[in-house]
Amino acid sequence: MVRHARGDGPPSIYLINNAALLSPVGPAETLDLEEAQNHILTNLAGPIYLTASLLGAVSGSRLDSHVTVVNITSGAGKSPYFRRSVYCAGKAGLDMFTRTVAHEQAGRNLPHRVFAVRPGVVDTSMQTLTRNLPDEATHDRELFLRLKRDGKLLPPDIAAELTLRTLDDPRVQSGDIVDVRELYPDHVAL
Ligand SMILES: NC(=O)c1ccc[n+]([C@@H]2O[C@H](COP(=O)([O-])OP(=O)(O)OC[C@H]3O[C@@H](n4cnc5c(N)ncnc54)[C@H](OP(=O)(O)O)[C@@H]3O)[C@@H](O)[C@H]2O)c1
């Protein structure tokens, strides 16, 4: 996404790394290695590649553009989610990539911004997949079934709107890992 400042100012460029996989799910010794590799390529290497390419392109151009990178992360980057070790590893890696790039940008003249957003529990196909895992697959399946039953899942359009709101939220600093439930408690019931 590119936004032009009023007048002839340089454009601001926004990269939101949202694409992700949940699978493979299961004990580590049973994981399909090809599926695990594809997962890490999508959830971690993809955002690294896109961020590095964008920052490289901007720094190599004459355009004085300002870049904001938003990595969509999850509480899985912080706490172990039973039998979702690859998902947790990918999100933890994404969080550290976010913090490290922000740290190296902080010393620059016009630092680009990089932060990560936890969107809450969102009513998407990833949640459907979680609810449909075999009973023994996770310790928290009942929680997600209950959230769905009680209408507590965040609609995807609201999650997207709140994520976009972080772009201009002065409370969000480069290097932060923010949770929309904490930033906008009036909009998220969880
Ligand atoms: N849902 C939640 O409760 C929840 C909670 C915390 C964090 N998140 C995070 O929120 C983000 C969005 O998740 P979601 O819930 O919307 O999941 P989702 O319903 O499974 O959607 C995942 C999206 O990623 C895309 N994708 C997957 N692999 C791709 C690839 N190799 N190249 C391009 N696109 C690819 C999919 O595109 P196709 O449809 O074309 O395959 C789909 O649009 C993810 O980063 C997820 O980890 C979700």
Task: State the CATH number of the domain containing residue 69.
Answer: 3.40.50.720
Nearest CA, atom 26, ligand 1: 19
Residue range(s) defining the domain that contains residue 34: 2-119+156-181
74 lines ligand 1 (CB under 6 A): yes
Task: List phi, psi (to 5°) of 14.
Answer: -120, 130
Across 51-55, 120-124, 133-137, 138-142, least confident range: 133-137
**In what order do the strands lie in the sheet containing 177-179?**
2-4, 11-17, 66-72, 113-118, 177-179
Distance CA 5, CA 29 (A): 52
With respect to residue 28, please indicate whether it lies within any of the assigned structural domains: yes
Report the percent of the chain where pLDDT is more than 90: 77
With respect to residue 107, please indicate whether it lies within any of the assigned structural domains: yes
Confidence of residue 190 (pLDDT cuts 50, 70, 90): low
With respect to residue 150, please indicate whether it lies within any of the assigned structural domains: no
70 lines ligand 1 (CB under 6 A): no
Q: Report the pLDDT value the prediction gives residue 63, as an integer from 0 to 100.
A: 74
Number of domains composing the chain: 1
Average pLDDT on 129-133 reads: 88
With respect to residue 19, please indicate whether it lies within any of the assigned structural domains: yes
With respect to residue 32, please indicate whether it lies within any of the assigned structural domains: yes
With 80 as the cut, is the pLDDT of residue 65 above it? yes
Exposed / middle / buried, residue 165 (Cβ in 10 Å: 0-12, 13-18, 19+)? middle
With 80 as the cut, is the pLDDT of residue 7 above it? no
With respect to residue 33, please indicate whether it lies within any of the assigned structural domains: yes
